[in-house]
Amino acid sequence: MTKAGLVLDTACLLAYSEGAEAVGGQLAKVADRGQSVIVPALCLAEAYRRVSTDGWCLLDILGDLGQVVVAPVAHDMCMFLGGWSRTLDSMDLAQTALEAARATTPIMTDRRELIGEVLPKEWPIIDL
């Protein structure tokens, strides 16, 4: 697997499903560098839960892109996900933070302040 260059959270997936150019642009930049984009499984599931019917096909396409890696939830992550989700009040955002920490890569999100509750304030974040 290629080195990760970015982690997308649920808000990014929903924005992508609505045609947001900012998310597509970041996907292209990461692909141009030969890196992968991590999509946490819990974020993808939450996006499918909240997306409009018209956006389903774009989420399907996103998950099939060659540079996108849908990161599963594994047993060794559960302790962190449970603890961090208490602080973040969101299991999907907890997985976003954990995946970024594991890959030491930036996050694209609209929840910068919340991420700063579990990761260092100077963590590289691309605002949605």
* Domain range list for the chain: 4-127
Residue 96 and residue 109 in contact, taking contact as beta carbons nearer than 8 Å = yes
pLDDT tens, residue by residue, 58-86: 999 998 988 999 999 999 999 999 999 99
Q: Does residue 94 have a pLDDT over 90?
A: yes
Which CATH code for domain 4-127? Answer: 3.40.50.1010
Q: Which two tokens stand for residue 98?
A: 């954990």
Chain mean pLDDT for the chain: 94
Distance of CA 36 to the CA centre of its chain: 12
pTM, rounded to two decimals: 0.93
Cα(56)–Cα(25) distance, rounded to whole angstroms? 20
CA distance 96 to 109: 9
Query: Which structure tokens are listed for 70?
Result: 């849908």
Question: How confident is the model over 40-67, as a mean pLDDT?
Answer: 92
- For the chain, give the number of residues: 128
